[in-house]
Amino acid sequence: MAFNPDCLGTRYQGTPQLLDRNRHRAYAEAVGASPDEEGAFVTPLACFAAVYLLWPVVPQLFQDPAVGLDVEHLLHGEQEFSFERTVVFDETIRPEGVITQVNQRRGMVFLEFRCEGRDGSDQVVARARSLFVVQEPK
Amino acid sequence: MSPGQGLDHFPPAVGEGPPERTREITQGVIAAYAEASGDHNPIHLDPEYARRAGLPSTIAHGLLTLGAACASVETWAGERAWVSQVSCRFSAPVRSGEELTCTAQVTAVDEVMATLELAALTSASERALTKARVELRPRGDI
């Protein structure tokens, strides 16, 4: 499966993600966050929300035969998240993503993928920019 | 403010930050993160697949490393501030079984924002993250 440089502009819609406390607890324990005195996790919220902004759409990108990313040789190059406000438990974020830059040089593919997460009022709550780097077969 | 205490004022002073944290990133930690995040890429979970990809072992998710580094900042910021931006470059993989030491320190402040630089150092003395920053804003300004 060869990488398709004409994939620029390809869009992906993710299923809405509920930021519920059970998912948050599992996430917080996995990243080693500290619970409060009552054993509850109040934080981290930013990266938790970011994960659920990305993962409904990133697998679509990785598995898209029309893009042809060789995920076996994929490196996570850069990552940036920004937030318009704090997210809160039990709200739903609807993610979407788009391929915004594609470059091939020195046997590597550089693919920039931007995501936005919108709340129930269709306002953007969070944005993500990911740079994926893939080593092409020699 | 001494290390270990949370942020009790805003803006914090340059040089302040959460206490250093070291944690072993076991395969169990990686598997728990895969389950929590839904990212089941076999490069994180299947040693044979990881070897085929040219790695000595499975590696932690990049967002597990970033999440671990950022979590200590959010815990420290508590009710006083919220994270408005997180960014990094993933510069070295964290292999299963390695220890990861995360630090964060305020490097710039103004009335509405504090910038912290994050560091995540593996037990092989490799910097897992570079250009890693978190921006905090005081609660109540939104």
The predicted model gives B128-140 an average pLDDT of 95
- The residue count of chain B comes to 142
Structural domain includes residue A3: no
Segment B21-48 shows an average pLDDT of 94
Question: What's the confidence (pLDDT) of residue A44?
Answer: 87
Distance (Å) from the alpha carbon of B24 to chain A's nearest alpha carbon: 10
Q: What is the pLDDT along chain A (138 residues), one digit of tens a residue?
A: 789 999 999 999 999 999 999 999 999 999 999 888 888 888 888 888 888 877 789 989 999 999 999 888 887 789 999 999 998 899 999 999 999 999 999 999 999 999 999 999 999 999 999 999 998 876
Average pLDDT, chain B: 92
Burial degree of A64 (CB within 10 A; 0-12, 13-18, 19+) = middle
Contacts of B29 in chain A (CB under 8 A): 30, 32
CA distance A62 to B33: 19
pLDDT at residue B53 tops 90:
no
Q: How many domains does chain A have?
A: 1
How many angstroms separate the CA atoms of B27 and B44, rounded? 8
Which amino acid is residue B47, in one-letter code?
P
Domain harbouring A90, CATH code: 3.10.129.10
Number of inter-chain CB pairs under 8 A, A vs B: 121
Only one residue has tokens 């964060």, namely B104
pLDDT of residue A138: 66
Distance CA B105, CA B14 (A): 7
Q: Count of alpha carbons within 13 Å of A134, Cβ hemisphere only?
A: 23
The ipTM value here is: 0.89
- Position A112 in a domain: yes
A20: domain range?
8-135
Q: How large is the average pLDDT for residues B52-79?
A: 92
Under a CB-based contact definition with an 8 Å cutoff, are residues B102 and B116 in contact? no
Domain for residue A71, yes or no? yes
Are B75 and A27 in contact (CB < 8 Å)?
no
Q: Is pLDDT at B2 greater than 50 in this prediction?
A: no
Residue type, B142: I
pLDDT of residue B59: 96
The model's confidence at residue B13, banded by pLDDT at 50, 70 and 90, is very high
Q: Is residue A103 part of a domain?
A: yes
Nearest CA distance, B133 vs chain A (angstrom): 9
Domains and CATH numbers, chain B: 21-25+61-138 (3.10.129.10)
Query: What is the DSSP code (8-state) at residue A130?
Result: E
Label residue B120 by pLDDT band (50, 70, 90): very high
Q: What per-residue confidence (pLDDT) applies to A136? A: 80
**B37, B71, B78 member nearest A32 (Cβ):** B71
Confidence of residue B29 (pLDDT cuts 50, 70, 90): very high
pLDDT of residue B5 exceeding 80, the answer is no
The span from the CA of B56 to the CA of A83, in Å, is: 36
Q: Which of A23, A31, A79 sits opposite B71 (nearest CB)?
A: A31
Measure in Å the smallest separation between the Cα of A24 and chain B Cα atoms.
Answer: 8
Please state, in angstroms and rounded to a whole number, the distance separating the CA atoms of residues A20 and A23.
6
Chain A residues near residue B139 by CB distance under 8 angstroms: 86
Assigned domain for A2 exists: no
